[in-house]
């Protein structure tokens, strides 16, 4: 399942948000305390495998980023991109079921599971702006991902294309999410440059 060669076929699920000001959509903060607005609308574009979709506005920069890495001999896989609320709920229930089988109560399982899997309405994946990008040689969502050449390149270069590492190490208390070296979020090129230069999270950048 490659994340390298893309299809330009659009899937228009709803009218796009007016994008006269990039900040209206690219800097949208979605987390436990800031659920996705009920009236959020987006236009989706399919990636090459036909399984993953992203917000159409970020397609050009995403394609440029992965193409640049590919030209350096790297091999990327987009493991996950846009998810609707029903799919997000299913992922959360799966994680909770695994924990319940290990002896956790439902409340305990919920607290533990939501350290990495957000409740529906609170996941950045529902915005179409977030992607889990991994190496073809290691497609597991685990911290060892940071040791792959693909992840090293992305962390060093993603800002040039408008992306940031959304949940960095050492910022867990701010983001509310465990360190995820594979989770990249589009914020626009100007914001990505400043966030990266100052070593901020999106929460810190917006709170300034």
Pick the catalytic residue from 146, 173, 180, 203: 180
The answer to whether 165 touches 200, Cβ cutoff 8 Å, is no
The answer to whether 109 touches 65, Cβ cutoff 8 Å, is no
Measured torsion, CA atoms of residues 22, 24, 27, 28, in degrees rounded to the nearest 10: -150
CA distance 102 to 189: 43
Catalytic annotation present for 180:
yes
End-to-end Cα, the chain, rounded Å: 40
Computed on alpha carbons and rounded to an integer, the radius of gyration of the chain in Å comes to: 17
Active site amino acids: 180
């Amino acid at each position: 399942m490659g994340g390298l060669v893309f299809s330009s076929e659009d899937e228009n699920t709803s009218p796009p948000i007016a994008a006269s000001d990039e900040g209206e959509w690219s800097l949208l903060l979605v987390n436990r305390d800031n659920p996705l607005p009920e009236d959020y609308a987006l236009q989706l574009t399919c990636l090459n495998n036909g399984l993953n979709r992203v917000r159409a506005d970020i397609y050009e920069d995403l394609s440029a980023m992965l193409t640049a890495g590919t030209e350096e001999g790297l091999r990327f896989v987009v493991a996950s991109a846009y998810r609707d609320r029903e799919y997000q709920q299913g992922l959360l229930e799966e994680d909770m079921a695994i924990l319940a089988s290990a002896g956790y109560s439902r409340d305990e399982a919920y607290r533990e599971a939501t350290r990495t899997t957000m409740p529906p309405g609170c996941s950045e994946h529902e915005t179409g702006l977030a992607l889990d990008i991994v190496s073809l040689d290691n497609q597991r969502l685990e911290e060892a991902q940071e040791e792959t050449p693909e992840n090293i390149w992305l962390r060093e270069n993603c800002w040039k294309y408008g992306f940031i590492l959304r949940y960095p190490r050492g910022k867990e208390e701010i983001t509310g999410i465990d360190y995820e070296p594979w989770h990249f979020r589009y914020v626009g090129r100007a914001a990505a440059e400043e966030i990266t230069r100052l070593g901020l999270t999106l929460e810190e950048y917006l709170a300034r």
